Amino acid sequence: MKKIVYIGNNLAKKTNYFSAMEMLALGLKKNNFQIILSSDKENKILRILEMCFVVYKNRKTSHVILIDTFSTINFYYALIISQLCRLLGLKYIPILHGGNLPYRLKKNSFLSKLLFNNSYINVSPSNYLKSEFESHGFKIKYIPNAISIDNYNFRLRKLYRPKLLWVRAFDKTYNPIMAIEVVKDLTHEFKNIDLCMVGPFKDTTIDDVKRLIEDYNLQDNIKITGVLPKEKWHQLSIDYDIFINTTTIDNMPVSVIEAMALGLPVISTNVGGIPYLINNKVDGLLVENNNVKEMTNQIRNLMNNPEKGQKITLNARKKVENYDTISTMKEWIKLLNSI
């Protein structure tokens, strides 16, 4: 049994937010890999200290170190762990999650080369980052984020009501303010419009959202649940007809893939890796970043043309079936056994 140390934010038990880290770790465990996860510390200093300790403690028995790599402050976690691995003579694989990593490659070219040039290989869950990293000369392999497709009950909507679902973290990056503006714009035509917002509170954006809801008098139109386990928001999605994604930076968002699997037509901003995931007007709808008017128009069009929405959702479901755990896990097993 090969031992894998997986470094990332192992916070699922504390936040109820089941991330790509937990999904991959679960799949590897089922395929007879021993997985050590780190770290579940919420304090950033304690987190990096525990990460370093876990790597050092398992230095003689680890097959490889997997490192979740993001584009903001967590970039430095990955950098520190990668250099510790080099010092200890351990092979490591960064898994690229940060939608703004291309900017990081340009802004911190030297640090990026330290991290990505010395890895065994870099793994990207999106063709977007694969393309960007290849253009900078880094060795990279594409393995998409996995979902267990059998757990997603597809429901084809016959009609589309003004019932919107938004599932992301309340963070400036994901621009929840845009979702509020969309609802405000649509209330002129649809007094019964509903928006349900699901996700953890990451920064003070939640305060801005609540203030705007009150200023616009949308308390009866918008519900905020906070973070929910996957099963609960999947069940909740039955009551909603359209999924909106308002992010300003993105890579390969699992929540969007899940919405496509559930039969919700997705209307998303066309940033980062989103155009690599969604083929506009074929398996989803794309709008310009922060363009409220364009998003409201697409919602209106779906409601007036349900056949279009049905065709989009059928195509979307067919696409995301390629991201099933069985297919992606084969790629991971092949990679890890090659080391």
Q: Are 206 and 170 in contact (CB under 8 A)?
A: yes
Given this model, what pLDDT does residue 18 score? Answer: 61
The residues that bridge with 124 in the sheet, in sequence order, are 142
Walk me through the domains of the chain, giving residue ranges and CATH numbers: 3-146+324-337 (3.40.50.2000), 149-322 (3.40.50.2000)
Mean pLDDT of the chain: 94
Please compute the mean of the pLDDT values over residues 281-285 and round it to a whole number: 98
Burial 32-68 (b: 16+ CB within 10 A, else e): ebebbbbbebeeeeebbebbbebbeebbeebbbbbbb
* % helix, strand, coil for the chain, step of 5: 50, 15, 35
Tens of pLDDT along 230-279? 899 999 999 999 999 999 999 999 999 999 999 999 999 999 999 999 99
Gap between the Cα atoms of 188 and 171, Å rounded: 27
The predicted pLDDT at position 10 comes to 78
Query: What is the pLDDT at residue 23?
Result: 85
Residue 12: band (very low, low, confident or very high) from pLDDT cuts 50, 70, 90: low
Query: What six digits make up the tokens of 52?
Result: 């370093």
The arithmetic mean of pLDDT across residues 288-309, rounded, is: 97
In this predicted structure, the answer to whether residue 15 has a pLDDT above a threshold of 60 is: no
- CB count within 10 Å of CB 8 equals 27
Contact (CB, 8 A) for 326 and 266: no
Secondary structure of 247-285 as H, E, C letters: CCCCCCCHHHHHHHHHCCCEEEECCCCHHHHCCECCCEE
Is the confidence at residue 14, as pLDDT, over 60?
A: no
For the stretch 185-215, pLDDT in tens is 999 999 999 999 999 999 999 999 999 999 9
pLDDT for 56 equals 98
In tens, the pLDDT along 130-144 reads: 999 999 999 999 999
In this structure, what is the dihedral angle of CA atoms 249, 251, 257, 258, given to the nearest 10 degrees?
A: -70
Please name which of 145, 157, 172, 136 lies closest in space to residue 290, comparing C-alpha atoms.
Answer: 172
Distance CA 224, CA 210 (A): 9
| Nearest-angstrom CA–CA distance, 274 and 7 | 26
The tokens describing 295, both together, are 């998003």
The per-residue pLDDT for range 27-38, each reduced to its tens digit, is 999 999 999 999
Average pLDDT over residues 174-180: 98
For the segment 140-150, the average pLDDT, to the nearest whole number, is 91
Is the N-terminal amide bond of 327 cis, ω within 30° of 0?
no
For residue 275, report the phi and psi dihedrals to the nearest 5 degrees. Answer: -65, -15
d(CA 30, CA 219): 45
Write down the pLDDT at residue 22: 87
For residue 286, give every residue at least 6 positions away whose Cβ sits within 8 Å of its Cβ, in sequence order, or none. 267, 268, 269, 270, 274, 275, 278, 280
Q: How confident is the model at residue 146 (pLDDT cuts 50, 70, 90)?
A: confident
pTM: 0.90
Is residue 130 within 8 Å of 140, Cβ to Cβ? yes
The whole-angstrom separation of Cα 168 and Cα 203 is 13
The pairing of beta strand 266-269 with beta strand 163-167 = unpaired
Confidence of residue 16 (pLDDT cuts 50, 70, 90): low
Residue 98 clears pLDDT 70, i.e. is over it: yes
